[in-house]
Structure 1
Amino acid sequence: MTATCSEISHKLSDDRSDLTEPLYVETNLGNNEVFCCPASPTTVPARTPQTLESPAPRTGPPRRRQRTTSVNNQTTTANPSECVIRSNNRTIYTAGRPPWYNCAGQQVEPFVIGICGGSASGKTTVAQKIIESLDVPWVTLLSMDCFYKVLNEKQHEQSLINEYNFDHPDAFDMDLLLEVLLKLKEGRKVEVPVYNFITHSRETNTKTMYGANVIIFEGILVFHSPEILKLLDMKIFVDTDPDIRLARRLKRDISQRGRDLNGVLKQYLNMVKPSYANYIAPTMAHADIIVPRGGENKVAIHLIVQHVHTQLQLRGFKLREALANSYNDQPRPESLHLLPATPQIKGLHTFIRCKNTSRDEFIFYSKRLIRLVIEYALSLFPFKATTVETPQGVLYEGKRMATSKICGVSILRAGETMEQAICDVCKDIRIGKILIQTNKETEEPELYYLRLPKDIREYKVILMDATVATGAAAMMAIRVLLDHDVKEENIILASLLMAEIGVHSIAYAFPKVKIVTSAIDPEINDRFYVIPGIGNFGDRYFGTEPSDIFN
């Protein structure tokens, strides 16, 4: 089951911070203001920057988010509205990522847009205008400026006197750039370098990014590499008057990069202008669309957006609806492990299914049932034979778990109710969290928040959710784990109650994932609730249940 950000944000603030990957970069804007550059392609809320001395929480209804970018801080003016809500190294987004995979659990290839043009031609502005008009909630903007090579001592000295050519193809790390683009297109996590144009070096920190429905890649030499050209679904060239480009470059380099007028003009005449003629302008022939006047050309941007929408519709799908109408009358999969239907299990289900059960009793009997489910899930991990000596001096042939690296991952918020049980039976176990909500308009699951151990790929994972209906949220959580290099056979999905259709959906998409539950109900209703079910488990457990939920 799912929860709103406001209902769980106070819980997240108390979690351990050692499991969190750094997903943002701070940039000082002056006047004690800090701009947090989000480092994943999720979008973030429009929000004014807070001072370091008096951070104030955002109030009121959720605002429209700004998309995450990898644009270099030295090449683009920081926008204070692009801030993330964070606490103790955690990153929380107020709008989520829709499914990036199909019903079979396979990733859908993103639409990649390449934007090329001369220095200061308005490429970033065009990219931002496209993003604003697209109205797609999950977009990655990747800047080529992040991939300048690290300068050696001689090159660094040349850069200080404006004699190093930053507009030459050899100035870029094309191998790293190609590697990052390939991973983003596969939906995998990447670490994007941060280049500092003031010191002419890469900073020690990097930006963590993930694949997206739409990837926009902009830079002066985007069309130069044949390998990169093959990855682009749409190629745009921004053609701006040279005088305008020079004026913009003068303003940017003097105000943001600490250079003087003579140095900027020297570099422009000796390197920037010749490089444009030799390496950039000829690549205009590869463009599908040429946009004169950059971001001011509303007609061209409108045509681009229309084409992208058409392509996304061809690749799109309704995941939850498709799952609900699939796998009817199929035998139960071999990956399903159902607790024996003993009188004790039946008795516990009687209490938690009854609508008249008080909240205290509901919590008590739920905890008992959760403990049984977790113990049963642990029995599915590999064990090895071992011999111990009893106090009577007699040898006993027993079993010991063959792995010492086990972690639990809860799907917030209902899955959080299962954390205590796994902590009780596994000493010092590490716990991760994934928040997935259902979009009220599309009825599709959306990823909002994740906090996982950095080395989770080395662990056996028990994924916990109290109930599973269509399996859409569980499939998204499994897909997140796979994107973090967790092996499919190392995942066990544990739940108190599942619908038949949810079991089949998960087993079909991820046949190596073991599924553990205490009961299976035959169907779901038009609101995707399990029938007969137990209602909204999270609401009943946490006491947030509307008074008329059963009416």
Structure 2
Amino acid sequence: MKRTQQEVTVLFFFLFLVVSHQCKSEPPLLRTSKRTIYTAGRPPWYNEHGAQSKEAFVIGLCGGSASGKTTVARKIIEALDVPWVVLLSMDSFYKVLSKEEQELAASNDYNFDHPDAFDFVLLSHTLRKLKQGKSVKIPVYDFTTHGRQKEWKIVYGASVIIFEGIMSFADKELLKLLDMKIFVDTDSDIRLVRRLRRDIMERGRDIEGVIKQYNKFVKPAFEQYIEPTMRLADIVVPRGGGNMVAIDLIVQHVHSQLEEVSLAAVILAALASAHQAQPLPQTLSVLENTPQVRGMHTIIRNKDTNRDEFIFYSKRLMRLLIERALSFLPSQVRVVQTPQGQDYEGRTFHGKRITGVSILRAGETMEPALRAVCKDVRIGKILIQTNQDTGEPELHYLRLPKDISEDHVILMDCTVSTGAAAMMAVRVLLDHDVQEDKILLVSLLMAEMGVHSVAYAFPQVKIITTAVDKKVNDLFHIIPGIGKQLDSDLTIRGGSIKCNLTLSYLI
């Protein structure tokens, strides 16, 4: 049976919310035979000023080659049950070999177990940015060609970073970034057997070459550079991943470091009081309240308006809203020649690109209006849901176009009440190095509270809307608000999973 676009959209969000709104007693992850998938969203990592409130917690894992560092890291991740954990391997930061060095590597005469084999400058820069909550690009090292692959891996949103490598404690700048230092101590014979298996099966090496390299470089490097750093460790884990007692102690310590009072009450209280007795900010632009605009608002706010009219006039307003937003983009003079051979002095966009980013769910309804006036515009998406237990907005998913840091970004949300979701979306863009003064937040309807919240946290973000309502009720709904909605309670009585889904007519 062929489904309509609306039915497909409803089904998609229903399935997503089923896994994202699990009860507290269930761990926030799904486990398959090959991977662990976290289904809980990331809570706010910033304060009411929009600045990062706490850096990510970094665990450094050091140990000899094939000592079980990655196994320990994965078991820590599984035991933590904390969403948004990043595993960063030092193997990704080997230097790119020259032609002569590649020839040495092919004959197993290049020392990969020396500090000079690693790009510590790039490694420190990457780990520092990740600790600060920024989006980073991780190189993917190819052990067959001994070079970096063309495509780099993008990592973002870490609450906990587990950094593992043979030289994790060898650099002073790296040591300053580590909040917990763990040394994995495994018998040398076991490490040799593991290295033989790994290098032969995963890296296409022959047994003679592996043994030659082990005796010539690996073992001396361990004794000279790696084993002495054991004294720097906070915890030494004998027997690697099989030592569950040590892993449990590590997990308990990490949990104690991560425990803190929920930011929800603090942020909401700050948002609620930030705008009291304050005039609307200068960064706000409201569509001129012409009789036409007033008439369309009358229709979409009317509880008796039918579905078709609600959609039609909402889309008309969105088109006007996007056109208004485009007028705030930078422009420059451009002279063109008319068909009559005369010069015409006009203007053109002065920037690299325009990118639209929707705050799902409702922000997606504004995409057609943006596409209608911006040809070939790139679109990104950020899914933010409110946690029913804590009241916090949570980041569940994001997909942003490449090199968005150079773009002017139109951030779209259909309505903004408290501004909590909009603040999180702006923070995500800033973490991806988008300039604050290049972000335009557009919304069909906003509450004064939401306007002040965003402007207070991000004073350079331009805010454009068709109307601003004064009040927000106890449920943080805009009053008087916008018109008709389609309410659909979808409940699954399987286990303890329940899902209440409210869909706007605009979807």
The residue type paired with residue 101 of structure 1 is Y
Among 279, 284, 297, the residue aligned to 1:349: 297
Q: Which residue number corresponds to residue 208 of structure 1? A: 154
In the TM superposition, residue 206 of structure 1 has moved relative to its aligned partner by 2.1
Structure 2 equivalent of residue 403 of structure 1: 350
* Residue 317, structure 1, aligned to residue 270, structure 2: no
- Taking the aligned partners of 2:485 and 2:133, their CA distance within structure 1 comes to 32
Partner of 1:103: 48
Q: Which residue of 2 aligns with 1:288?
A: 234
Give the TM-score normalised by structure 1.
0.76
Cα pair 1:113 1:236 within 8 Å, conserved: yes
1:385 to 1:240, Cα distance in 2 relative to 1, 3 A: closer
Indicate how the Cα distance of structure 1 residues 353 and 221 shifts in structure 2: closer, same or farther if over 3 A, else same. same
Superposed, which structure 2 residues align to 1:419-434 within 5 Å?
419-434=367-382
Task: Kindly indicate whether the alpha-carbon contact (under 8 Å) linking 2:67 and 2:185 is maintained by their aligned counterparts in 1.
Answer: yes
1:194 maps to which of 140, 162, 180: 140
Task: Describe the SS at the equivalent of 2:150.
Answer: strand
Residue aligning to 2:363: 415
The structure whose residues are more often helix, as a share, is: 2
Equivalent in the alignment of 1:369: 317
Shift in CA distance, 127/5, structure 1 to aligned 2, threshold 3 Å:
farther
Counterpart Cα distance in 2 of 1:249 and 1:512: 53
The secondary structure found in structure 1 opposite 2:72 is helix
Q: 1:471 aligns with which of 419, 429, 447?
A: 419
Matched, 1:501 2:445: no
Unmatched runs of 5 consecutive residues or more in structure 1: 12-44, 46-60, 67-78, 85-92
Paired amino acid for 1:81: K
Give the whole-Å Cα distance in 1 for the aligned partners of 2:29 and 2:463: 38
CA distance in 2, matches of 1:388, 1:293: 74
Q: Does 1:269 align with 2:215?
A: yes
The amino acid across from 2:50 in the alignment is G
Give 1:217 shift.
Answer: 0.5
State the AA in 2 paired with 1:326. S
Per-residue deviation, 1:158: 3.1
2:495 match = none
Q: Aligned residues: percent identity?
A: 61
Q: Which residue is equivalent to 2:274? A: 327
Q: In 2, Cα distance between the equivalents of 1:179 and 1:82?
A: 28
Q: Distance in 2 between matches of 1:122 and 1:170?
A: 23
Task: Verify: 1:462 aligned to 2:410, yes or no.
Answer: yes
Is 1:82 matched up with 2:47? no
| Equivalences, count | 474
Deviations 1:343-392 (A, max 9, x none): 44333223222333221111012112222322332333345678999999
> How far apart are 1:433 and its partner, in Å?
2.9
Aligned 1:43-122 pairs, distance under 5 A: 64-65=29-30, 81-82=34-35, 96-107=41-52, 108-122=54-68
The match for 2:179 among 222, 233, 241 is 233
Q: Per-residue CA shift, 1:3-44, capped at 9, x if unaligned?
A: x99737979xxxxxxxxxxxxxxxxxxxxxxxxxxxxxxxxx
Say if 2:79 is the partner of 1:133: yes
Shift of 1:514: 1.1
Match for 1:155: what amino acid? Answer: E
What's the offset of the Cα at 1:268?
2.3
Q: Which residue of 2 aligns with 1:379?
A: 327
Structure 2 SS opposite 1:124: helix
Alpha-carbon distance in 1 for matches of 2:322, 2:372: 10
Distance 1:384 1:169, change over 3 A: closer
Unaligned runs of 5+ in 2: 1-5, 14-18, 20-25, 489-499
- 2:313 counterpart SS class: helix
Q: Quote the Cα distance in structure 1 between the aligned partners of 2:178 and 2:261.
A: 16
Please, which moves more after superposition, 496-505 or 417-426? Answer: 417-426
Q: State the Cα deviation string for residues 133-181 of structure 1 (Å, max 9, x = none).
A: 2222101110011112223344333333333322111221212212221
1:15 matched to which residue of 2?
none
Task: Find out whether 1:246 has 2:192 as its counterpart.
Answer: yes
Is 1:7 aligned to residue 9 of structure 2?
Answer: yes
The Cα of 1:539 is off from its aligned counterpart by 6.4
In structure 1, how many angstroms separate the alpha carbons of the residues matched to 2:339 and 2:198?
79
The residue number in structure 1 matching 2:383 is: 435
Contact preservation (8 Å) 1:239, 1:292: yes
**Distance (Å, rounded) in 1 between the aligned partners of 2:203 and 2:214:** 15
- Residues 129 and 136, structure 2, Cα contact 8 Å, conserved in 1: yes
Q: Does the CA-based 8 Å contact 1:323-1:501 persist in structure 2?
A: no
- Partner residue in 2 for 1:447: 395
1:450-479 alpha-carbon deviations (Å, 9 max, x no partner) = 444434333332211110122122112212
1:5/1:225 CA distance change after superposition, 3 Å = farther
Larger CA deviation: 475-484 vs 463-472: 475-484
Q: Give the whole-Å Cα distance in 2 for the aligned partners of 1:102 and 1:315.
A: 13
Q: Root-mean-square deviation (CA), in Å?
A: 3.6
Task: Give me the whole-angstrom Cα distance separating, in 1, the residues matched to 2:181 and 2:473.
Answer: 45
Report the counterpart of residue 337 of structure 1 in structure 2: 285
In structure 2, C-alpha distance between the alignment counterparts of 1:155 and 1:255, rounded to whole Å: 23
8 Å contact kept, 1:457–1:487: yes
Give the Cα–Cα distance (whole angstroms) in 2 for the partners of residues 99 and 5 of structure 1.
Answer: 31
